[in-house]
Amino acid sequence: MLKGKVLVAQGGGPTAVINESLVGVVNEARKDPGVDRVYGARYGVSGIINEEFIDLTQETTDNLERVAKTPCSALGSTRDKPDRPYIQEILKVLKAHDIQTFIYIGGNDSSATLSLIGHEAQAQNISLRCVHIPKTIDNDLVINDHTPGYPSAARFVANAFAGVNLDNQALPGAYVGVVMGRHAGFLTAASTLARQEADDGPHLIYIPERKFDMSDFLTKFKQTYDRLGRCVAAVSEGIRDSDGHLLATQGRAVETDDHGNVQLSGTGGLADQLTAAIKRELKIERVRGDTFGYLQRSFVGCVSDIDQREAREVGEKAVQCARWEKQDGSITIRRTGNYSVAYDISPLDAVAGKTRYMPDEFISVSGTDVTEKFYLYLRPLLGSQMPDFAKLRRNEVAKVL
Among residue numbers 188 through 247, which ones bind a copy of itself (CB under 8 A)? 194
> Does 379 participate in binding a copy of itself (rule CB under 8 A)?
no
Question: For residues 246 and 316, what is the distance between their CA atoms, to the nearest angstrom?
Answer: 38
From candidates 70, 88, 320, 371, binder to a copy of itself by CB under 8 A: 70
Residue 370: other Cβ atoms inside 10 A: 23
Provide, rounded to whole angstroms, the least separation between the CB of residue 393 and a copy of itself.
6
Provide, rounded to whole angstroms, the least separation between the CB of residue 327 and a copy of itself.
27
Closer CB to a copy of itself, residue 243 or residue 388? 388
User: How, if at all, do strands 99-106 and 53-55 pair?
Assistant: unpaired
Query: Are 206 and 174 contacting, i.e. CB atoms less than 8 angstroms apart?
Result: no
Question: For residues 186 and 64, what is the distance between their CA atoms, to the nearest angstrom?
Answer: 31
Considering 138, 140, 200, 307, which one is annotated as catalytic? 138
Q: How many residues bind a copy of itself (CB under 8 A)?
A: 85
SS3 for 25? helix
Query: What residue type is assigned to position 213 of the chain?
Result: D
Q: Which of these segments, 55-63, 109-117, 304-312, 330-338, binds a copy of itself (CB under 8 A)?
A: 55-63
* Residues between 126 and 185 with contacts to a copy of itself, criterion CB under 8 A: 159-160, 162-164, 166-167, 169-172, 175
Cis peptide before 359 (omega within 30 of 0): no
From candidates 277, 282, 295, 350, binder to a copy of itself by CB under 8 A: 295
Query: Are 121 and 264 contacting, i.e. CB atoms less than 8 angstroms apart?
Result: no
Distances (CA, A) of 249 to 176, 180, 236, 317: 17, 14, 13, 39
Provide, rounded to whole angstroms, the least separation between the CB of residue 63 and a copy of itself.
6
Query: What residue type is assigned to position 130 of the chain?
Result: C
> Does 113 participate in binding a copy of itself (rule CB under 8 A)?
no
Q: Is 388 a catalytic residue?
A: no
Identify the CA nearest to 140 among candidates 163, 111, 98, 172. Answer: 111
User: How, if at all, do strands 340-346 and 329-337 pair?
Assistant: antiparallel
* Residues between 74 and 103 with contacts to a copy of itself, criterion CB under 8 A: 74-79, 92-93, 96-97
* Residues between 264 and 283 with contacts to a copy of itself, criterion CB under 8 A: 265-269, 271-272, 275
Closer CB to a copy of itself, residue 144 or residue 275? 275
From candidates 58, 215, 242, 384, binder to a copy of itself by CB under 8 A: 58
Element (H, E) at 177: strand 174-179
Query: What residue type is assigned to position 282 of the chain?
Result: L
Residue 101: beta bridge partners? Answer: 6, 129
Closer CB to a copy of itself, residue 125 or residue 395? 395
Closer CB to a copy of itself, residue 128 or residue 321? 128
Query: Are 330 and 351 contacting, i.e. CB atoms less than 8 angstroms apart?
Result: yes
Closer CB to a copy of itself, residue 59 or residue 145? 59
Rg (CA), the chain: 23
* Residues between 299 and 318 with contacts to a copy of itself, criterion CB under 8 A: 299-302
SS3 for 134? strand
Closer CB to a copy of itself, residue 63 or residue 364? 63
Provide, rounded to whole angstroms, the least separation between the CB of residue 335 and a copy of itself.
26
Provide, rounded to whole angstroms, the least separation between the CB of residue 163 and a copy of itself.
3
C-alpha atoms less than 13 angstroms from C-alpha of 36 in its C-beta half-sphere: 11
Closer CB to a copy of itself, residue 324 or residue 389? 389
* Residues between 26 and 45 with contacts to a copy of itself, criterion CB under 8 A: 39-40
Residue 332: beta bridge partners? Answer: 344
Catalytic annotation, residues: 138
